[in-house]
Amino acid sequence: MPDRDESRAKFGFSQNEIVALYTGQLYPWKGVDTLVEAAAGLPENVAVAIVGGGAGRLEELKEKARRIGSRCRFFGQVKHEEVPAFLAAADIVVIPNSGKEEISRSYTSPLKLFEAMAAGKAIIVSDLPSMREVLDESVAVFFRPDDAASLREKIITMARDRETLDNLATRARERSNGYSWEARAEAILRQISI
């Protein structure tokens, strides 16, 4: 992982801010609208960073944030090689998938989830079956899908409790070991040999 302090300086975050990060596409079912809404009303020491593009929605989300007074920082789409620096700068990774579409509720398995776990980041995630296949309360904090107030509450709670944030991050990193390419290959081979 890149250095945390250097990454924060590179992206303009202060050392005492709590950085909540979203990385990925901006399709409606990814739930970024909910994160933009949740960011309105967060304490001054919490920064929300949105890294990603797709679906031509970046300008629409920026306008929404401006209109409702949401203090999001939009970085647009970046090369995948730059994502680790954003992860290094973050304290929390938010995966706000919507519950309105079946693909999000039941069929997605976002790589950003596994990247966040491997980077050892605290995770706040929509409470959906697709996310519960990998996560539980021992490694993540769940919020009601499509509910900005629920997400805002979880971000505020996490920002105030550094010990819990650090414990979740450590357990997420430990759990990520079971999802390496080697571990997945071993699981497949065990299934084939049955």
Angle (CA) 24 149 50, round 5° = 20
User: pLDDT tens across 4-35, in order?
Assistant: 999 999 999 999 999 999 999 999 999 999 99
CA distance 124 to 21: 10
Query: Can you list the domains of the chain with their CATH numbers?
Result: 4-193 (3.40.50.2000)
Task: Please write the tens of the pLDDT for every residue from 160-191.
Answer: 999 999 999 999 999 888 777 787 678 778 88
Q: Taking the CA atoms of 32, 37, 40 and 46 in sequence, report the sign of the dihedral they define.
A: negative
- Give the pairing type, strands 46-51 and 122-126: unpaired
Tokens 């290094």, residue? 88
pLDDT in tens, 139-155: 999 999 999 999 999 99
pLDDT band at 62 (very low <50, low <70, confident <90, very high): very high
